[in-house]
Structure 1
């Protein structure tokens, strides 16, 4: 799951050569590319890594990364050039944004010569991503949220500083350790388990796909780095009623379209809304795996239907038309957890390491042989299934340890040439 030399994936002969193209873009585009390919689309993937499985699902991969001293981010110049290139693809429907595009969303919605953005328009995006507008809307609707401030609080203890265009927890710092600028706001630290609700919106209506627990860790000065998720989670009716009201009300007032995730804190039966991510979330992988029959064409296809055709999926099987929208659309067949594994120290992925992960069914976002992965950067994503939260956590820990042991073997002297197998 780390960057590699080269800019374009080799075209792959796949069924449906005459199918429309869809472009997917983000820090990592594998989940979106996989879902789009499953739906029968031809895929152009734009991300930082060009991982082996991302390329497997894509006809074309283009590097849009800026990997420098300040970490992993998207280079706007590369992004523009990539989108102008894919705009010339035959039968292109448009492009879908994933995580990491938040700082560029105004540019993507307004720049000329770019393909159609399959998502929210500028006003709908601002309604949920502009903190002043969003929290004012929550107050107007009577939806609970942690206290927020747009000026530096006099006492910083107990407050977080958040950037309005951040993602993955990398935009959150303790207020006492952070500078303030015009792009930030402050939020009081509140109790509760970090959760999310994935939902589809169209026609000022919304349907909840499912609920998941967010997995976060502290990393240096970052107290809440998102590393994965676990779900679908069953929640009491008194909780889902609150979430359902929030989702329906926000989607209606903001006129949202497509897949979104509502992040919230759950403290007992009390729900406190944190934010809405106005794009498909990585949690879609949980629901596609846990409810395969419910999404025969995948959730990216449902996102496109909602955005392009203004259409929501039919009610879940055996559910009356009047079923409340706070209930998930389909019952899962299993529980799923996914977690990113980060490199404990710098190493170079050998051919043997890459091949071992490529054939391992729990590993995704597989780095190419020869990729240099620095300490703290993502190596790959582990996805496991189980019948309980405890079982999922055990499986995540077991497979993470296996991966760390494999990483250690990459540090051992070897006469193997990186290019010896291909």
Structure 2
């Protein structure tokens, strides 16, 4: 598993009985616990270094019985070249042509128009006036690629940049598994975002499964089926869209395993006893759809779940006490290693909770956020962190 963070998919793979090599930027404690091998593929700016990633994948390709590799978030600008790179393991996910069909803005929105799928208005020229428009870079992820159009200067725009009119409604996502030209819908989640510095739409988590009107579910299912048939989407993918209570507008397809996997594995553990990644591998390797029994259980979740990223309010160095407390907290994920220096606005950890309803999940997330944020203030930096920073 390779991406900005590999923890979620690594843990899901372990549930499937697999041995895991994790390649990411953080090397968090629970990532290293799940993986037998970990490689740092960061470039020092919370971004993936292509050279280090290719080197790690090339070395892993020599391992016996390797099934292949899975690409996660943060690899969007690299995937076209990685799909052509010789000597890498098999990519267990969408092919290069499929990725281009859903990630290249001109092709994607033209496809939506051809299929009659609604989306906010898009322009590849700077709109005037720009007050109700956003600028997005299709090679970005996590909301860090979204800015108000009025803040975009006259410099040449990124090759895959585009302007999108601000739509109305709640930001939602749909998780689905593509297999043999069909979409097998897992569920819907509400997307959470926050403002960090000048970024107004940073992805901060999700809550789900969320019940949707049956008539809308039928229409979304039809749209996903059409997209899978036309593009060949395979395995776990997610679709971001806006929903105003009656109508939906498509925003983008994330053609890779999504962080919302955790919601469905947490809310319906009986539906996915081997984890959702096992379904992803079955679809990618054999064209096998998830079982009807699993899908039926997923449609009647026992719980609602929520996850929220805790961002650092101030710069701090992770103490052993802080790391240990988070590692032993059942609601903490992506636990940083002792001695990790975290800047203000950077992710500290992810909070994962389960409750009987979405409102109860929000309360539980608030409580967990308050509890863990207090640890940042009360767990002193150890002496060895100062020593490590000087060697």
TM-score for the superposition, normalised by structure 2: 0.95
Q: Within 2, Cα distance between the matches of 1:415 and 1:164? A: 43
Is the alpha carbon distance of 1:399 and 1:107 closer, same or farther for their aligned partners in structure 2, counting shifts above 3 Å? Answer: same
**Alpha-carbon contact 1:217-1:227 (below 8 Å) kept:** yes
Q: Which has the higher helix share?
A: 2
Find the aligned partners of 1:191 and 1:222 in 2 and give their Cα distance: 19
RMSD over aligned Cα atoms = 1.7
Shift in CA distance, 158/59, structure 1 to aligned 2, threshold 3 Å: same
Q: CA deviation at 1:417?
A: 7.2
> Runs of 5+ in structure 2 lacking a partner?
none
Find the counterpart in structure 2 of residue 75 from structure 1: 49
Distance apart, 1:220 and its partner CA: 2.3
Q: Which residue, out of 63, 88, 96, partners 2:40?
A: 63
In structure 2, what is the equivalent of residue 40 of structure 1?
17
Q: Assess if the C-alpha contact under 8 Å between 1:207 and 1:329 holds in 2.
A: no
Range 399-408 or range 384-393, more displaced: 384-393
The question of 1:143 aligning with 2:117 is answered yes
Gap change, CA 1:269 and 1:418, over 3 Å in 2: same
Correspondence 1:304 to 2:281? yes
Deviation at 1:415, TM superposition (A): 5.9
TM superposition shift of 1:392: 1.0
Quote the offset at 1:161 in angstroms.
0.5
- Separation (CA, whole Å) in 2 of partners of 1:329 and 1:307: 21
State how far apart, in whole Å, the 2-side matches of 1:172 and 1:242 are: 28
Give CA deviations for 1:77-136 in whole Å, capped at 9, x if unaligned. Answer: 111111111111111010001111111111111100111110111111111111111111
* 107 and 414 in structure 1: CA distance in 2 versus 1, 3 angstrom threshold: closer
What is the Cα deviation at residue 390 of structure 1? 1.6
1:114 pairs with 82, 88, 97, which one? Answer: 88
1:281 is matched with: 258
Deviation at 1:197, TM superposition (A): 0.3
The separation in 1 between residues aligned to 2:39 and 2:169, in whole angstroms, is 40
Can you list the C-alpha shifts for 1:28-77, whole angstroms capped at 9, x where unaligned? 00001000111011000000000000000100000001223xxx110111
Cα distance change on mapping 1:176 and 1:37 into 2, 3 Å: same
Answering whether residue 368 of structure 2 is matched by residue 399 of structure 1, we say yes
In 2, distance between residues paired with 1:98 and 1:413? 32
Classify the secondary structure of the residue corresponding to 2:20: strand
Q: 1:92 aligns with which of 60, 63, 66?
A: 66
What count of residue pairs does the alignment treat as equivalent? Answer: 385
Corresponding residue for residue 219 of structure 1: 196
Contact 2:272 2:294 in 1 (8 A): no
Q: What is the aligned partner in structure 1 of residue 306 from structure 2? A: 337
Whether contact under 8 Å (2:312, 2:343) holds in the other structure is yes
- In the TM superposition, residue 183 of structure 1 has moved relative to its aligned partner by 2.3
Q: Does 1:133 align with 2:102?
A: no
Please give the TM-score of this superposition, normalised by the length of structure 1: 0.88
Aligned match for 2:97, one of 82, 104, 123: 123
